Chain A
Amino acid sequence: MKTIRTALMVGAAAMAVLAASQAEAQQVGEIRWFGSIYAKFLDGDRRFENALYNNAETTPGEAGGDQGQGIEFELMFNSQVSSQVEIGGRIKARFNQNFWSNFGGFGPQEEDERSAQYMKLRGAWARITPGYEWIDSATIGSNDWGMFDPWTVGKFRYIDRDNSSGLLFQGRAFDGSVRWDFARVTLSRLFQGPRFLTTADPNDSQYKLEANDAAWILQTRWAATDTLNLTGIAEYIRDKEIDRADENLLDGQDVQTRYDNTILALKGQYTGIDAVDIGGAVYYTNFNIDATECSLGLNDDCRFSPTPKAGVDDTSWKLDVGFNDLLVDDLTVELQFFHIGADFVSVTSARREQDVLLTTGHEGTWGWGRPDYNFGNRDNANSTLGLGYGGWNPETQQVVSMMADNDFTDFDEPMAETVIGWKGFTIAPSYLWGDWEFQGEYSYIDYDTNWQACGGATKDTCIYPRMEGLHSWGLGGDWRSPYAPYQDKTTEIWGLTANYFLDVGAGVDLEFRFKYIADEDDRVTNPALLVDAYDGFPAAVGAINPDWIPNIGLEGCVACDDRAADYYTYMVSAGYQLTGDLYVRVLFRRDEVDLIDGTIDVAPVGLGFEASNDFGYAEYLTGEHTKNRVGLEFSYFLSGVEFGGSVDWLWGDYAPVFLDFRDGQIVKLDTSLVDTVTTPLGNISVDSVDLEQYRLKAFMKVSF
């Protein structure tokens, strides 16, 4: 009894202290400092130390690391200068390649900003709240733009949440029923334009013009009723360049438009019916580009670009319907219908972190793995880019950007994939049954990008950026370009997840998961176009693989290049609160893929020497794949510090299968008497390949 009384007294006394000292808002003139220290530890058996990220940065040597330790210090501040003015900012020392082994610097790496351990201003802003009726605030400086629609101006984290800067004005009208946001967002010269540039030639100091390129956006949200919201958005993006035709500087320099991009949107949400929620959005985009910027074709200097090479316009829409307690209690069903046009272009849309579709999409574990299944060649930087065999663990995020971005991520973060051109529907029921919770998904996806010769006469006039050119090839991977010169593809996704709370001890969180994805692509369907598709373009100039074989025309066989990929995922996990501060989850996951990527005569359309074994850009992966993963995740909290981590052990194999076209039939090759099979991607061993990977990520986080 005494203990109980003591406990109650403690509670009462503690609370009384709180009551006695009323917290007040930040005082004018006071500067408040806050921040964090974040340390990361990577280990793995890939043994790459390019950077302290597992990510798939597309520049060899700059990322894709799995080794080392680093620590970041971030300091933020804000101050209420007056009742109407607030300022803030953030400085940070990042650890990109700044390993502890750098020993604080004073070596050659200090000259490299990626390794130097210096504090840098990462963001600064001033916010004015004038107190007028018509405007709530004006923010000048860095921002994360999270208030806008991800199809228009998205949260485009580069390395930090607020790398982007601009002007933001926000206010209300009509007694608060209309809220508006108006912004001028400065474009990043690092990526927001054709060829990932906002000027024609960044090295031409006399003629480059980047600093005033911007997106202008107005978003108005009208709460028509408590249950009906409507949003209208208009955005205009313009990249200006020096007009070289204007040779007279005496009256100022004329400019011309390198590209511009208009996005119009109308969104609505209605929640006025108990059993049904309805939401929808429709978008129109228009994109124009200077005709001299890009030549048409697969391999010109606009091959790596987040925009088409010619002007396009298109519409896109999605409709969401959610049913609550449908037919029986505790059954909810979400429906989403969507159509994202092949020519949808929104240069400032979200690159990751904002998921625009209901579907769980493809599995990140097969995304950009690039472990070099065929040759295991460490000297081949292309084949070793990325995360290795394990890929990304979480489910993928869908974004409407050709700049889908997975740089500076780790294997425990979700992968982003572009969904431009996707059309179809998702049905996602959820049902509670006692301590069980079931969630299902069925998605059917057709593609607006299904076409022959890019919708033209030949692939060489394609206006769409090819980028890596691995769209719909192999196990997955090319998340950036949604385009393939030849495509006739459908995808089905089936998923079922069951969660159960096992009431033992502190309670065990059990999860069971199954997912099946069927990806089918007939690729070339018109025999007359086989030559165009498989004519060996680009020419084998520079190819150093002597076995590289252009297979012109595939002997007229349109089925020879067909792709069929069946992905299976099985997972079981158990999570438990071991102590008040320590939560642990263990899991086992198995993935299987049955893949046919055409016959042995087929290589990705448009890939020449890049597909060869010496270049390692594409791989021969037809056959049966298995991948097993035992994972351990933990999070630990101790007054003032938080730890978390993941460790994976992966193993599996790849049993190659070889199909050939003989006597009018596609047949499986008998490989019992050969060691290798010659394909356009190299001489592929007939033996099964065993794969293993171990990887670890742990972090410590202290906020103050």
Chain B
Amino acid sequence: MPGAAGSGLPPSSDSGIMRFMRATLLLLLLISCQLPAATVFEIRDPVGDDHGSGDLLYPNRGDLQPGDLDIVSFAAENEAGGTWFQAEFRNPIRTPQSEVTEVGQVPMPRLARNGFYSFNIDIYIDQDLEPGSGLTEALPGRKVRIDAATAWEKTVLLTPRPDIARSMLASHLERIREQELRAEQGRVTGDDRERIAAAVEQTLTERYFMPNRVRVRRRVIRFFVPEEFLGGPASRDWAYTVLITGAEVEQTTRLATAPENFLLMNLPVERGLNFRNFGLRGDADADQPPVVDYVMPRAGWQRIRLSDYNVARGLYASVVGTVPSGRPLDVKPRAYEDTAQPPAAEERSRAEAPPREADRGEAEPIPTGDSLADQLRAIRELRDQGLLTEEEYQTIRRRLLAEY
């Protein structure tokens, strides 16, 4: 047979399985051992609570599905020079490979260079646990505030485009300060702007850090925060308020919006389902925070905390941090904040108590979003833990049954 001779082409007789086995063996041979790093702490978060206050629906996108933003643990490892924070999600983290932007079809890896593009992680760190010490305001667009008991000194924002996020935050803060100054003195000079820019830059340097050393491996993302920023290695005795929002990678230039509507790289919540925003279940309130998940070990508390806001009174939902060591916090239930009789510091379980609007004669917040049975169980749990009086419990129970 002429064709059998001298083709010059190698034969390909190996079966696919044999090739697979060879590849696997080669891989295992290439693996080298590495000493595990010491974990400073790990905070677990309930699985399946990636729905904010209970009413959020994922956007109409195939690349953003339930579980994608469901953080299940948050941990830290210290090493020379800084701390590696680590977040684990329920689903494998989606990579920007093969994605393009909506405007201009720019390849997403060009913008989101750190291997992820679908979420932000806010970490508000209270380093002194001194009530009233630090800031309580969250990053723009989150529509929450940090409880005064864990008011923060440092904020870390892990976002797909850290450079853009920092630049936008700077512009945003400068704009607000200019507005303030204009209101105070009627005009803003060039010198004023220079001073504001310098002060904002210093604030950003001291207060905010956007990591760009990031490692993604399936469900886990790790990011490095240097000691120069934190002032030392991460501690189990600090409080960490960790929030997950959906990332809006292209939202780079909408600075002209009103300051209170400015979103720092996060997807908003709007009624209806769209690929540009998180939707709402049923007729849920459209002013709820766009926080999809909130690291809070105790099931049910995320829903309660994120539901506790009042647009009419200008009150954001209040979220409290977690201290990995279990050190007690002095959390004031929200309803007492402007009263003369705040409760004393209490044990940790009390520290995570929900706001108690009922004590001010207003309706007790009701867990929403789950089935009636779930809601009844939740308020019973609150009663059993002494966080609701029997009277409050019965009142809420009646309301739930009546509304069912």
Interface residues of A (CB under 8 A from B): 3-4, 6-26, 34, 36, 38, 40, 74, 80, 83, 86, 127, 129, 131, 133, 136-137, 139, 144, 146-150, 155, 161, 170, 172, 175-176, 223, 226-227, 229, 269, 271, 277, 322, 324, 327-334, 353-355, 394-395, 397, 409-410, 412-414, 424-425, 427, 429-433, 435, 437, 440, 442, 444, 446, 490, 492, 501, 506-507, 509, 520, 522, 527, 555-560, 562, 564, 575, 577, 580-581, 583, 596, 633, 635, 637, 639-642, 644, 659, 661, 664-667, 699, 701-704
**B103 interface residue, CB < 8 Å from A?**
yes
Task: Tell me which residues across on chain A come within 8 A of B273, comparing CB atoms.
Answer: 127, 136-137, 139, 170
Check A704 against B137 for contact (C-beta < 8 Å): no
Task: Tell me which residues across on chain B come within 8 A of A410, comparing CB atoms.
Answer: 105
CB distance from A576 to the nearest CB of B (A): 11
In the complex, which of the residues B62, B202, B203 contacts A148, with contact meaning CB atoms closer than 8 Å?
B62
**B256 interface residue, CB < 8 Å from A?**
yes
CB distance from A439 to the nearest CB of B (A): 10
Task: Tell me which residues across on chain A come within 8 A of B97, comparing CB atoms.
Answer: 355, 395
Known contacts A354-B98, A637-B167, A704-B253, A664 near B16 by CB under 8 Å: no
Q: From B10, B103, B167, name the one whose CB has the most chain A CB atoms within 10 angstroms.
A: B103
Check A7 against B200 for contact (C-beta < 8 Å): yes
Interface residues of B in 33-83 (CB under 8 A from A): 33-34, 36, 47-48, 57, 60-63, 66-67
Interface residues of B in 154-183 (CB under 8 A from A): 163-164, 166-168, 171-173, 176-177, 179-180
Q: Beta-carbon contacts of B290-309 to A below 8 Å, as 1s and 0s?
A: 00000000000000000001
In the complex, which of the residues B103, B107, B213, B279 contacts A501, with contact meaning CB atoms closer than 8 Å?
B213
Check A665 against B47 for contact (C-beta < 8 Å): no
Nearest neighbor of A175 in chain B, beta-carbon distance? B371
Task: Tell me which residues across on chain A come within 8 A of B200, comparing CB atoms.
Answer: 7, 10-11, 14
**B236 interface residue, CB < 8 Å from A?**
no
CB distance from A472 to the nearest CB of B (A): 14
Check B275 against A665 for contact (C-beta < 8 Å): no
Provide the bound-state CA to CA distance between A432 and B36, in Å.
Answer: 12
Check A23 against B261 for contact (C-beta < 8 Å): yes
Nearest neighbor of A560 in chain B, beta-carbon distance? B3
**B145 interface residue, CB < 8 Å from A?**
yes
Task: Return the 10 tightest CB-CB contacts between A and B, nearest first.
Answer: A15-B137, A558-B3, A559-B7, A7-B202, A25-B286, A226-B48, A665-B6, A11-B203, A355-B98, A21-B260
Nearest neighbor of B7 in chain A, beta-carbon distance? A559
Check A161 against B177 for contact (C-beta < 8 Å): no
**B360 interface residue, CB < 8 Å from A?**
no
CB distance from B291 to the nearest CB of A (A): 14
Q: From A13, A18, A19, name the one whose CB has the most chain B CB atoms within 10 angstroms.
A: A18
CB distance from B283 to the nearest CB of A (A): 4
Check B31 against A328 for contact (C-beta < 8 Å): yes
Task: Tell me which residues across on chain B come within 8 A of A430, comparing CB atoms.
Answer: 217-218
Check B206 against A329 for contact (C-beta < 8 Å): no
In the complex, which of the residues B2, B20, B213, B274 contacts A427, with contact meaning CB atoms closer than 8 Å?
B20
Jot down 28 A-B pairs with beta carbons below 8 A, ordered by A: A10-B200, A21-B259, A22-B287, A22-B309, A25-B269, A26-B286, A38-B103, A80-B271, A127-B273, A127-B274, A129-B272, A129-B283, A155-B62, A277-B92, A322-B218, A334-B218, A413-B105, A425-B16, A432-B222, A492-B19, A556-B1, A580-B163, A635-B111, A640-B256, A641-B253, A644-B106, A703-B254, A704-B256
Provide the bound-state CA to CA distance between A509 and B287, in Å.
Answer: 40
Check B167 against A331 for contact (C-beta < 8 Å): no
Q: Beta-carbon contacts of B220-238 to A below 8 Å, as 1s and 0s?
A: 1010000000000000000
Task: Tell me which residues across on chain A come within 8 A of B145, comparing CB atoms.
Answer: 19
Known contacts A139-B273, A330-B217, A557 near B105 by CB under 8 Å: no
In the complex, which of the residues A80, A176, A644 contacts B281, with contact meaning CB atoms closer than 8 Å?
A176
**B392 interface residue, CB < 8 Å from A?**
no
**B23 interface residue, CB < 8 Å from A?**
yes
Check B3 against A556 for contact (C-beta < 8 Å): yes
Known contacts A137-B272, A277-B218, A665-B5, A640 near B255 by CB under 8 Å: yes
Task: Tell me which residues across on chain A come within 8 A of B66, comparing CB atoms.
Answer: 223, 229
**B186 interface residue, CB < 8 Å from A?**
no
Which of the segments B310-318, B325-333, B336-344 contacts the partner chain? B310-318
Q: Beta-carbon contacts of B241-264 to A below 8 Å, as 1s and 0s?
A: 000000000111111101111000
Task: Tell me which residues across on chain B come within 8 A of A146, comparing CB atoms.
Answer: 60-63, 275
CB distance from B347 to the nearest CB of A (A): 29
Check A324 against B255 for contact (C-beta < 8 Å): no
Provide the bound-state CA to CA distance between A19 and B106, in Å.
Answer: 36
Provide the bound-state CA to CA distance between A170 and B207, in Å.
Answer: 43
Task: Tell me which residues across on chain A come within 8 A of B4, comparing CB atoms.
Answer: 558-559
Nearest neighbor of A331 in chain B, beta-carbon distance? B31
Interface size on B, residues (CB 8 A): 116
Check A40 against B104 for contact (C-beta < 8 Å): yes
In the complex, which of the residues A18, A40, A665 contacts B260, with contact meaning CB atoms closer than 8 Å?
A18
**B381 interface residue, CB < 8 Å from A?**
no
Known contacts A86-B272, A129-B271, A149 near B180 by CB under 8 Å: no
In the complex, which of the residues B6, B213, B253 contacts A640, with contact meaning CB atoms closer than 8 Å?
B253
Nearest neighbor of A445 in chain B, beta-carbon distance? B16
Provide the bound-state CA to CA distance between A509 and B195, in Å.
Answer: 33
Known contacts A80-B271, A424-B16, A429 near B199 by CB under 8 Å: no
Provide the bound-state CA to CA distance between A580 and B165, in Å.
Answer: 10
Check A577 against B218 for contact (C-beta < 8 Å): no
Check B63 against A633 for contact (C-beta < 8 Å): no
Check B212 against A413 for contact (C-beta < 8 Å): no
Check B250 against A703 for contact (C-beta < 8 Å): yes
Nearest neighbor of B176 in chain A, beta-carbon distance? A14
CB distance from A597 to the nearest CB of B (A): 12
Provide the bound-state CA to CA distance between A40 and B279, in Å.
Answer: 34
Check B12 against A353 for contact (C-beta < 8 Å): no
Check B167 against A442 for contact (C-beta < 8 Å): no
Task: Tell me which residues across on chain B come within 8 A of A355, comparing CB atoms.
Answer: 97-98
**B402 interface residue, CB < 8 Å from A?**
no
Check A704 against B23 for contact (C-beta < 8 Å): no
Task: Tell me which residues across on chain A come within 8 A of B171, comparing CB atoms.
Answer: 639
CB distance from B29 to the nearest CB of A (A): 12
**B282 interface residue, CB < 8 Å from A?**
yes
Task: Tell me which residues across on chain A come within 8 A of B279, comparing CB atoms.
Answer: 136-137
Interface residues of B in 96-154 (CB under 8 A from A): 97-100, 102-107, 109-111, 113, 135-137, 140, 143, 145
Check B12 against A14 for contact (C-beta < 8 Å): no
Check A446 against B253 for contact (C-beta < 8 Å): no
CB distance from A646 to the nearest CB of B (A): 8
Nearest neighbor of A527 in chain B, beta-carbon distance? B3
Known contacts A8-B203, A413-B105, A437-B215, A666 near B20 by CB under 8 Å: no
Nearest neighbor of B198 in chain A, beta-carbon distance? A3
CB distance from A648 to the nearest CB of B (A): 14
Check B163 against A18 for contact (C-beta < 8 Å): no
Provide the bound-state CA to CA distance between A144 and B331, in Å.
Answer: 46
Check B283 against A23 for contact (C-beta < 8 Å): no
Q: From B32, B180, B215, name the one whose CB has the most chain A CB atoms within 10 angstroms.
A: B215
CB distance from B164 to the nearest CB of A (A): 5
Check A13 against B272 for contact (C-beta < 8 Å): no
CB distance from B213 to the nearest CB of A (A): 5
Provide the bound-state CA to CA distance between A442 and B273, in Å.
Answer: 39
CB distance from A492 to the nearest CB of B (A): 8
Known contacts A633-B110, A637-B252, A18 near B140 by CB under 8 Å: yes
**B352 interface residue, CB < 8 Å from A?**
no
Task: Tell me which residues across on chain B come within 8 A of A667, comparing CB atoms.
Answer: 6
CB distance from A397 to the nearest CB of B (A): 5
Task: Tell me which residues across on chain A come within 8 A of B218, comparing CB atoms.
Answer: 277, 322, 324, 332, 334, 430
Task: Tell me which residues across on chain A come within 8 A of B207, comparing CB atoms.
Answer: 8, 11
